[in-house]
Amino acid sequence: MRVMVSSPLLDRIKKRDARVGVVGLGYVGLPLGMAFAEAGFPVMGLDIDKRKIDKIEKGESYIKHIPSAPLSELSRSGKLKATTDFAKAKDMDCVIICVPTPLTASREPDMSYIIQTGEALAPHVRPGQLFILESTTYPGTTEEVLKPLLEKNGLKAGKDFYLAFSPEREDPGNKSFNTKTIPKIVGGYSPECSEVAAALYGSALKEVVPVSSTRVAELAKLLENIFRCVNIAMVNEMKMLCDRMNVDVWEVIQAASTKPFGFMPFFPGPGLGGHCIPIDPFYLTWKAREYEFHTKFIELAGEVNWQMPYYVVQRTMEALNKNKQTLNGAKVLCLGAAYKKDIDDMRESPSLRIMTLLAEKGADLSYHDPYVPELHKGHGFNMEMKSVPLKPETLGQYDAVLILTDHSDIDYAMVVDRAKVVIDTRNATKGVSKGREKVTKA
C-alpha cells in the first residue's frame, strides 16, 4: 500500500484528536463508537432515534450484551456524545456509516437507509474528510450508491475526501471476540483512501486487514456469511432427512465432529436469524444477475433456510396429532424470540416467522423470552405480545411448548417434565432423560 507524502488527517489520527462520527447507533455502531472513544478519540454518534440519544446521554445501555458502566463513563467524560442533528457531520474528520441493509418484500437489496444517510451527509461534506461504509451490502455499493451522493456538491472521492468500505463483523453475545479483537477488513476507493482508513481502525482495534478495493472488502463480507448460510442449509436438509429416517441428526453431527481434519460442524435450527446470514445470499445473487450469472448453489441454500419455519410448523402439527389434537385452537407456548441464545437481538429472527405461521393456522399463542419482554408489529410481524412467566405450575396449561431459542437460563428438564408436548428445534433437551417420549425434534 502506497504511503502518502503528507496528510493532515493522518497526523490527527496518529495524535488521536481526529473527530470520529458514527452514523447508526445499533448493534454495530454503538460498540464501534465506544471502541474509538476508549482509544482516546472524541466521538459523536448520529442517529434518527431520539430514544437512543437520550439513553447515551444518561449513560444507559439499550443493548443487552453492552454493559451500562463503560458507556456511562464515556458519556460522563464527554468522550462519547450523541445527536440527531446530521449537520454535526461537518465537524467530524471521520464519518463511519453503520445503517441497516435489509431486504425488500421481494427479497431484493433495500438501499434506502444508505441512500437516506448519504443524502443527509451530502450537504456537510468538506475537503479532507474520511467516509467509511460498514453496512453489509453487495459489491459496488460504496462506489455506485454512496460515492455519487457524497460528491453532489462537487467534491470528488479520492481527490478531495477519502472513501472506504470496512465490513462490520459483530457477533452479539460472543464472549470470545468483540469489536476491538475481531480483525477489521478495510478496502479504500484509492490507495490513499485505504491508508487513511486503515490508520483510523488501527488506532483503536487490534488488527487491520487491508485489501485492494472497496469491492473486495464488500464481497469478502458476503463470502464469509454465505459460507455459513450454505453449510447451515446443508445440515438443515440433513436434519429433515434424518427425521424421516428416524435418526438423531445431532448425534450424527457429534460423531462426525470427532474427525480431526476436513470437517467443521454446523448445526440445524428453526431458520436463520441476525442481520447478515439470512440476507447476504440474496444480495449477491441479485448483483450476480447484472453479470448474467445465476448463483444456483447459493440461491438453493437461501431457499432451504427460508423454508425452515414451515418445516417447524409442520413438525408441531405432527407432534400435536400424536396427542390427538389439532393445531387450530391449540394453546402453544414459544420459548425464545431472539434469533440466538442469551441475547436480545430480534433482527430477522425465525421465531417471528414461526409464530406468524402458527397464528395463521389458528394456534392460541404465548411466548416466553427473558431478554425480549415485548414483541411489536413490524417487519412482517403483525402481533403485539408480552412475554409470559415460565412457571412449572402453568406449563401444563399449554398443549405444546415449542423451543425456538435455547437460552441458557431456562430449565429444560422442568419444561419437559411439566409440558404435555415439547417440540425442540435447538437440541436444548439433549441432556434430559425423564419425559423424553414427549419431545419431538424439529
* Catalytic sites, residue numbers: 276
At 223, phi and psi to the nearest 5?
A: -60, -45
Distance CA 234, CA 108 (A): 23
Number of helices (H), then strands (E), in the chain: 15, 15
Cell numbers found for residue 295: 448463483
> Residue 38, exposed/middle/buried by CB under 10 A (0-12, 13-18, 19+)?
middle
Cell numbers found for residue 176: 470470545
Cell numbers found for residue 218: 464488500
Strand partners, 367: 334
Q: Considering only CA atoms, which of 426, 442, 421, 424 is closest in space to residue 311?
A: 442
3-class secondary structure for 37-48?
Answer: HHCCCCEEEECC
Query: Which residue bears the cell 406468524?
Result: 356
Strand (E) or helix (H) holding 114: helix 112-121
Q: Which residues contact 36 (CB under 8 A, 6 or more apart)?
A: 20, 22, 43, 204
Tell me how many degrees the CA angle 114-377-427 measures, rounded to the nearest 5: 95
